[in-house]
Structure 1
Amino acid sequence: MNSNGTRFLLLDGAADFRNASRQCSWDAEQRAFTLTRQDAPRLPHLAPARARELLAAATPCVLDDHGQIGRLSDDGTRFECTLSWPPTAWQPVLAALDDAETGAPDLETLVLDPVDAPAGRFTDLALGGSGLVALPWSDGGTQHGLTAVHLRRRWQTHCTLAFAPRRACVEATMGADRVWLLGETRLGLAVGAPLPQPYLGRPERFEPLQANPDPLRLLWDLALPPHRGLLGLAADDERLYVLAEHPDGTDDAPLMQVFTRPLAAGPTETFRVHRLPAGLPLATDIAAIGDGRFLLLVPFEEGPERGKLRDCPLFALPESEDDQIADLVPERWPRRSEAAAFSAEVSAGLRFVRHRDGHPRTLTEDGPIRLYRLAQARFAPSGTVTLSEILDSAMPDTLWDRLYLDACLPPGCRIDLAVQAGDDREELPVEWIAQPPPVRTPRPSELPFAPGRAPTDDPHAGLYELLIQRGNGAVREVRGRYLRLRITMHGDGRHSPAIFALRVYYPRFSWQTHYLPDHFQQQERPLPLEDADTVAANGADLRERLLASFEGVMTPLEDRIAASEVLLDPAATPAARLHWLAGLLGTTLPRHWPDARRRRWLASQGAMQQTHGSYRGLLLALDILTDGAVARGAVIPVEHFRLRRTMATILGIDMDDRDHPLTLGTGLSGNSIVGDSLILSDDQAREFLALFAPEVAERRGEAAVVERFFDEASRRMTVILHGPAKNLAAVVRDALPALVPATVQWAIRTSDHPFVLGLSPLLGIDTWLETQPPPGRVVLDRTRLGRGDLLHNPVALDPEHAVPIDATAGEGH
């Protein structure tokens, strides 16, 4: 709401710009509403019979976090890996096999076994979760099961299944470790793991009936919808996808379908069946990329045309429950190449390479390569959509004011808008009222001191504005409780307009209504468009729109004036004005400080200036400079006189130190309350008098004791940095000269372990009560034995040869 009380409705997401025509759509990568891409995927068309033959001989592959590639052996009985590409040799993946009685892996003897199929051969290979590999197996008869291998914990375990599994999928959600199993007619969910440590029962005590309460097992299974053959299984963060042939297809003219269901749904949840468009080549695998979209892997054509057509089709699930046909998205996702066969019997490159990050990868001649959308887009020349969302002002006969767009209009592109308005949501007028072209304004946003939604590095992006009005008639107002928008976008084929956010203001604050006499007011009502083609605007309407133009310029200025206190609020002022505000408050802000620290420093200037040079002011300043380390107890400034301890008994004085930040209630004293005052220790009474009542000590002739006490313990302080806070030593050292009085001597001390001052040195133990930070990784020449760091197994097929790789590695090998 602006200073005139005018509200606005905001459209800035996929749901807000939903429409039925799909000529324009929400681009999730740009976070903008644009023309829909019109790229024509170049799909290879291999004969269906040959595609089925290659799929039957294809072997699945996985890629670990260190660039190592795993696959099934040629005979399908062993899980193996290679360290280089092209592979020079394949070696077995090793993991500890769990004990059949205790359900725990044999990690004490450090004996690692190859991962072999307990019966028959492995039928699939999948990697996901926290590093779990799923290998379903079957002997083709009555023995079926699942073998699970954890690459970090180096265990392997297995369970039996009631059906023959053909595909497996480990949920892409990191740490989920749930395995989906796909059989010819059943879908099952397997969960569980072996015990983390061996468990040995003892006959003299009661033992549980089952040593492992959560073994690997099939949790439940349900029937699949009818199909003609299974092709693939995949999952994203929300849904499970099953690719299968449709029963209506034939051997020569196959049809494909996708079964989907939420990952969080139970066994009673039914599948949604989505049919794919006819005429597509038969796919050999599926990969989910999120937001209800999935890619299909289509084999390359054979012969001289091999590799000329190499795109993967992308599909999107329909938003409507009634629509059962998945949409082919007009985008190109090209593959680089297709890897050659591993052997004469085993094909390569016909399955997506599974990685636990969930991104789609294919096996190419250069190794596993991640798929990306083709950056160079092609758009239709224009597109017109009517937004499904009808804007509701909640007020009958609303006078709609103006419309602001955070948009980008490249050269050769434009945006046309039209509106419908009325008081009956179900029967809005048929007429579409065309609006004038939006005009770019020099401000980033009409909202006071707010950044725009459009990218600042694009010269064609900014804030565009138009006044909502009719194009003809004596009265050109647009009135009604409800407003519907129609957007027409025009591009040049290579570029598209983009709307990042759209704001519709209502009701109009009319200067004519508020400030002019009654005889200047509008006395007529708008006419239908067909009756107003030749009618000129009357005087009241001309004045209304003329004054509205001035109001559109002045109101944002008034809003900035009304919200000018934002400039003085460190929490709300724009980041560019923080240095100006710092100068106003008499301080400076280093440019390398993070934004949150600069804002807190300015917000605390009042308290810091009042307490400058005191212990309280030092605590506040250091807490800001260290981003809360003082409040966490990681940085503690200590005045030396607080470190003095005694065994004297002072009766009648409360020596409770439970709330003291340094001792936490560990002070030693034989104190008890007897009368108002009683001290039973002549030797140390003088020190207590010097500490708590120096004026009494001076009257008793102990002035020398008082002076010596303060000489030894006053005007001295130490800043103790606990554990990880020792990395803040430079920050604290640079800040102390400006925060501590010149008469105070200070020092900085670090400690590898946090402790309670005065107690840990006496007991020799760590007595600091705090949240234990997670252990770090062992680093050569830095880690000290037994000091917190742990040696973790990497998520690698061969951990002995695992080496760190760059964050972008895994895009290739």
Structure 2
Amino acid sequence: MDVNGTRFHLLQGARDWVPVLERHLVLDGERQLHWDDVHAEVTLAPHLFRFPPRRSETPPSLEQRRGADCDRYGNLYWIDDDGLGIDWRPAGRDRQGLYWASASLTTPVCVPAGADFAPCSGPSAEAPPRLRGLAVTSRHFLVVGTLSPAGLLVFDLHAGGPPQWRVWSDALDFAPFDLAAAPDGGLWILDLGPDEGAARYWRLDRYLEVVAGSGDALVEVVPARADDFWPLDAGPRVQAARTCAAGRPLAPASPPEVEAPIALAALPDGSLLILETRPDALHSSLHRFRDGMQLDRIDLKGERLTGLEPERLRAHDMLFVPAEGKDDSDSRGELFLVSEDGNQVMVLGLSILRDALHLRLEPRFLPMRRYDGKDLVSDGRDVLYHLPALWTRLVEQPRPRYGLEADLDLPALDGKEPGCVWHRVTLDACIAPGDAIRLQSRAADEPADLDLADWRDEPPPYRRHASEIAYHQPFGAAQRERQGTGTWELLLQGATGRYLQLRLRLTGSGRSTPRLRALRAWYPRFSYLEQYLPAVYRDDAVSASFLERFLANVEGLWTTLEGAVAGAERLLDSRTAPAEYLEWLAGWLGATLDPDFEEARRRLLIEHAELLFRWRGTPAGLLAMIRLTIDPCPNASLLDDLRHPERIEPLRYAGRAVRLVEHFQRRGVPGVVLGDPRRLEQPALIGAAAPFEPSQGPEPLHLRFRDFLRCRYQGDETTLAARWGSPPAAIQFPPLPPADVARAEDWRAFVSRGLGFGYAQVGQDDLGLYQDFLRQRYRRIDALRTAWQLLDGQPPDSFDAIQLPGVLPSQPARLSDWVGFVSLALPTERNAHRFTVLVPTDPTESAETRERRLARVGALVERERPAHTEFETQLFWALFQLGGARLGLDTALGEGSRYVALVLGKTALAEGFLDSSHPWGVTHRALRVLGRDPLTE
């Protein structure tokens, strides 16, 4: 409702438009309009662009089908043109070569199907076996079918080594043609058999053993025989014959089910999809099986393939790709079908709802040039097909085709009162040049009278500068870039009656289509003529009708402005303010919005600006702002610590969270304890020796220093005396680092590991700090002289005359002052008002992504930190350091400490690797990740 009390009927979204489109399909019997789920718009029915074959082309034959597949790492395997070897292309490379040749196979390992143990007396491979059918299972086995002798080659891609040749019994008449990996780690095999019409399929489990279903025929693969391992005096013992399921036949004698199967695909729900293309049929068919029963049969013709000329499809091969991000229980994905002429691939959206198969033709043009007939392959990102010399990916080409014209009758709309004057219709739509949407209307006071009323042509709509609803933006920024996108409006000329019906006619150019998102029919009309002008202007009916319609145009402009004024409070709420007003709204609060912030992140920042400002400059406030900036999915829970300050734990680091380490906390403990894995060598508070007190005098420190040096030099007092220039018994601990490099190294080692308390390295640059420390402690030089027990005339006479001690003072007060300075005052001064922000990085991120995140955090901290502080930002690498990092919190175990690929000229040496990275998100039969994978299968 607007400010004048005018209401509207709204059609928007799938719940409103889809029933109208389905009703139109039932009445007309032809799908001329289409609901676009991606953009939530009504369009003309899309047609598939067909690539016409050339007369000189030879369509691919089934003999060219060999078998191909990709493993989880992106390595591609396929059977070569001769059928005697396996070629491969490693992941991330364009070069291809020979992976394995059947000539290297001599005697097969005879493992009859269904037999656990059997003598290896199978046929010898006098000639290399021919290969047919290839698949890579989810357990990382490469399985290849062989002919004469018939069987399966099993390559363990995880462990490596030569293949195992599982030769099947001759009694099975096994002739593999196509293989497909099942989601549970097993395998489906299409077996064309030795004779025409003898096709069947096999189901193998994850251990590549035949799965027998109830009612399957059994074939004897190992005859009954005497037991070789049985005592002679115990009487003869005969082992029973071993049998195996004979496979599931596809073409029984009566009635025929699948006469000419050519390909199969495994679906996530455990069922099997088989493609059939009969030589005498005009179209192919899809059959779905489970447990030996046929569930669905769909002929690829008719309305499922609307837009094809003619409306049928004969396919050469197929590939099923599950929907991205879906698990095995979600049976949705895309089915890629190679046309029989080999010129393009059709895409069918596949879903299984209530155990029924549903297909939808996608109007995507995927051309293929010089296709040589091999299998389609998916590497997890793209679909690949083979040219005579290389594999290339399918690339969708922009060839949109649509119907030319369609009418859509909307259901009757109720104006709630007799004689209602319907005001106007607005359309949120994209009407490009060359396209059009025209409206017709009819109105009556009774629903039954609508069918008797004549349709009346309404004027063509024109595009407004903005929506008639204040602050309403029906399209996103990207969609607004399309030509003709906006709110279109038309004034109804004479629609009077309680019930209104509209007819929309969408007209396109064939290459483009109008796109209708929403329709609003406004009622009743707020008449400026009746409300604001004298009655004399309504005396003449013709003039009054014209004047009312003329003033309605002015009313449309002023009502929108009045609505903006009436709804101005929406601009002051971060949840309702339009996106373009967020910068203005943040300015009222003095907040600065990062230009890289998306809309949701901006609204979250504005909504909690008061809370963030209250904690601004504190460690908790900085961490909250950083999380709000770099978290991939920010929400209000990131600010829970600020709402409940009693829960804040300074040393709590959950997972790989952002860390803020204040340097003053590191003055006496290793930085890794506080969350900084880069700070490992720091003085420890507790040592092996007894605690030192200044009242004991300097001798205990000298003794501890001498013992440390003897241990360091392994009792070699000669070397020790030569290094320090005096007998070991006379060596004393110097308060300052020695100038000699070797002595300084010994001194620092003792301070770090043998002293027993924190001791900063003091230099002449720290003399002023030492004098200030004493000045603040004693206030007057007389108090210092008294405490240090200095005689009259003995220096120093002022604090500025005090020098750093050359040897440890023997006077207790002076020694206590020195120890307090080097162990507390100086470390605190060096680390005060300084902190480090550790930003986590993911193992799979690129160097550019890491640097961009680091720069964003640095700019944020520079803006939010207290003015008197200094900081540094560092990437938190996934380093595993025994004793210095916490497994699972600080580290990610892998082959090294750097997981990014090396980029020439950008990546530093030893900070990347040359080959492809490990796919960390995949599961593996030999790898279990705690917290992700179950320990049992």
Q: TM-score range by the shorter chain?
A: 0.5 to 0.7
> Is 2:137 aligned against 1:135?
no
Task: Specify whether residues 477 and 640 from structure 1 end up closer, same or farther in structure 2 by C-alpha distance, changes over 3 A only.
Answer: same
> Is 2:266 aligned against 1:259?
no
Cα deviation, residue 499, structure 1: 0.7
Equivalent position amino acid for 1:350 in 2: G
2:132 alignment counterpart: 123
> Is 2:899 aligned against 1:777?
yes
> Is 2:462 aligned against 1:439?
yes
1:192 alignment counterpart: 206
> Is 2:299 aligned against 1:274?
yes
Residues of 1 paired with 2:839 and 2:31: CA distance?
Answer: 59
> Is 2:469 aligned against 1:460?
no
2:259 alignment counterpart: 228
Equivalent position amino acid for 1:167 in 2: D
CA contact (8 A) 2:109 2:167 kept: no
Task: Specify whether residues 93 and 356 from structure 1 end up closer, same or farther in structure 2 by C-alpha distance, changes over 3 A only.
Answer: farther
- The alignment partner of 1:579 has SS state of helix
1:284 alignment counterpart: 316
Residues of 2 paired with 1:751 and 1:363: CA distance?
Answer: 44
Cα deviation, residue 553, structure 1: 3.8
Equivalent position amino acid for 1:497 in 2: T
Which residue of 45, 52, 68 corresponds with 1:42?
Answer: 52
Cα deviation, residue 378, structure 1: 5.3
Equivalent position amino acid for 1:440 in 2: R
Which residue of 499, 504, 507 corresponds with 1:479?
Answer: 499
2:12 alignment counterpart: 10
Q: CA offsets, 1:109-154, max 9 Å, x none?
A: xxxxxxx9999654323468697755345658xx655847658989
1:181 alignment counterpart: 189
Task: Specify whether residues 220 and 370 from structure 1 end up closer, same or farther in structure 2 by C-alpha distance, changes over 3 A only.
Answer: same
1:764 alignment counterpart: 883
TM-score norm. by structure 2 comes to 0.53
- The alignment partner of 2:370 has SS state of coil
CA contact (8 A) 2:49 2:401 kept: yes
CA contact (8 A) 2:570 2:577 kept: yes
Equivalent position amino acid for 2:514 in 1: A
CA contact (8 A) 2:301 2:313 kept: no
> Is 2:748 aligned against 1:721?
no
Residues of 2 paired with 1:30 and 1:576: CA distance?
Answer: 22
Cα deviation, residue 582, structure 1: 3.5
Q: CA offsets, 1:595-645, max 9 Å, x none?
A: 555444444432343344445544444444554899866444455666688
Task: Specify whether residues 269 and 739 from structure 1 end up closer, same or farther in structure 2 by C-alpha distance, changes over 3 A only.
Answer: same
> Is 2:505 aligned against 1:488?
yes
Task: Specify whether residues 38 and 607 from structure 1 end up closer, same or farther in structure 2 by C-alpha distance, changes over 3 A only.
Answer: closer
Residues of 1 paired with 2:202 and 2:444: CA distance?
Answer: 53
- The alignment partner of 1:584 has SS state of helix
Rg comparison, structure with higher value? 2
Cα deviation, residue 26, structure 1: 4.5
What's the Cα RMSD here? 6.5
Task: Specify whether residues 261 and 716 from structure 1 end up closer, same or farther in structure 2 by C-alpha distance, changes over 3 A only.
Answer: same
Residues of 2 paired with 1:257 and 1:735: CA distance?
Answer: 61
1:652 alignment counterpart: none
| Greater RCO, 1 or 2 (C-alpha within 8 Å, sep 6+) | 1
Aligned-pair identity (%)? 20
Residues of 2 paired with 1:234 and 1:269: CA distance?
Answer: 15
2:86 alignment counterpart: 79
Which residue of 419, 423, 434 corresponds with 1:412?
Answer: 434
1:341 alignment counterpart: none
- The alignment partner of 2:63 has SS state of helix
Residues of 2 paired with 1:794 and 1:93: CA distance?
Answer: 32
Equivalent position amino acid for 1:364 in 2: L
CA contact (8 A) 1:136 1:165 kept: yes
Task: Specify whether residues 423 and 355 from structure 1 end up closer, same or farther in structure 2 by C-alpha distance, changes over 3 A only.
Answer: farther
CA contact (8 A) 1:85 1:367 kept: no
Residues of 2 paired with 1:176 and 1:573: CA distance?
Answer: 50
CA contact (8 A) 2:250 2:259 kept: no
Residues of 2 paired with 1:729 and 1:86: CA distance?
Answer: 34
Which residue of 276, 279, 290 corresponds with 1:244?
Answer: 276
Residues of 2 paired with 1:373 and 1:773: CA distance?
Answer: 39
Task: Specify whether residues 336 and 607 from structure 1 end up closer, same or farther in structure 2 by C-alpha distance, changes over 3 A only.
Answer: same
Residues of 2 paired with 1:157 and 1:391: CA distance?
Answer: 71
2:740 alignment counterpart: none
Cα deviation, residue 317, structure 1: 8.8
- The alignment partner of 1:591 has SS state of coil
CA contact (8 A) 1:445 1:451 kept: no
Unaligned runs of 5+ in 2: 112-124, 193-198, 209-243, 303-309, 322-331, 642-652, 677-683, 686-692, 696-776, 784-812, 843-849, 922-937
Cα deviation, residue 230, structure 1: 1.5
CA contact (8 A) 1:63 1:70 kept: yes
In the TM superposition, what are the counterparts of 1:562-601 in structure 2 within 5 Å?
562-570=566-574, 572-593=576-597, 595=599, 597-601=601-605
> Is 2:32 aligned against 1:23?
yes
Moved more, 83-92 or 179-188: 83-92
CA contact (8 A) 2:507 2:513 kept: yes
Task: Specify whether residues 179 and 620 from structure 1 end up closer, same or farther in structure 2 by C-alpha distance, changes over 3 A only.
Answer: same
Residues of 2 paired with 1:123 and 1:565: CA distance?
Answer: 71
TM-score norm. by structure 1 comes to 0.59
- The alignment partner of 2:284 has SS state of strand
Equivalent position amino acid for 2:86 in 1: F
Cα deviation, residue 270, structure 1: 0.7
CA contact (8 A) 2:10 2:518 kept: no
In the TM superposition, what are the counterparts of 1:363-762 in structure 2 within 5 Å?
363-365=386-388, 367-372=390-395, 374-377=397-400, 382-386=404-408, 402-418=424-440, 429=451, 433=455, 434-443=457-466, 446=469, 448-452=471-475, 455-467=479-491, 469=492, 476-477=496-497, 479=499, 486-493=503-510, 495-505=511-521, 508-511=523-526, 552-570=556-574, 572-593=576-597, 595=599, 597-627=601-631, 634-638=657-661, 713=828, 716-721=833-838, 724=841, 730-731=855-856, 733-736=858-861, 738-744=863-869, 752=877
Which residue of 266, 272, 295 corresponds with 2:337?
Answer: 295
Residues of 1 paired with 2:858 and 2:663: CA distance?
Answer: 18
Task: Specify whether residues 424 and 255 from structure 1 end up closer, same or farther in structure 2 by C-alpha distance, changes over 3 A only.
Answer: farther
- The alignment partner of 2:62 has SS state of helix
Unaligned runs of 5+ in 1: 101-115, 195-216, 301-309, 339-348, 521-535, 647-659, 663-667, 670-680, 684-696, 796-813
2:220 alignment counterpart: none
Equivalent position amino acid for 1:353 in 2: L
Cα deviation, residue 291, structure 1: 7.2
Residues of 2 paired with 1:231 and 1:445: CA distance?
Answer: 58
1:688 alignment counterpart: none
Task: Specify whether residues 711 and 79 from structure 1 end up closer, same or farther in structure 2 by C-alpha distance, changes over 3 A only.
Answer: closer
Task: Specify whether residues 459 and 612 from structure 1 end up closer, same or farther in structure 2 by C-alpha distance, changes over 3 A only.
Answer: same
Task: Specify whether residues 296 and 738 from structure 1 end up closer, same or farther in structure 2 by C-alpha distance, changes over 3 A only.
Answer: closer
CA contact (8 A) 2:900 2:912 kept: no
Q: Identify, as 1 or 2, the structure richer in helix.
A: 2
Q: Number of residues paired by the alignment? A: 648
CA contact (8 A) 1:129 1:356 kept: no
CA contact (8 A) 1:79 1:93 kept: yes
Cα deviation, residue 93, structure 1: 7.9
Q: CA offsets, 1:754-775, max 9 Å, x none?
A: 99xxxx9xx9343477486585
- The alignment partner of 2:295 has SS state of coil
Residues of 2 paired with 1:777 and 1:598: CA distance?
Answer: 32
Cα deviation, residue 318, structure 1: 13
Cα deviation, residue 439, structure 1: 1.9
Task: Specify whether residues 87 and 743 from structure 1 end up closer, same or farther in structure 2 by C-alpha distance, changes over 3 A only.
Answer: closer
Residues of 1 paired with 2:546 and 2:80: CA distance?
Answer: 82
Cα deviation, residue 229, structure 1: 0.9
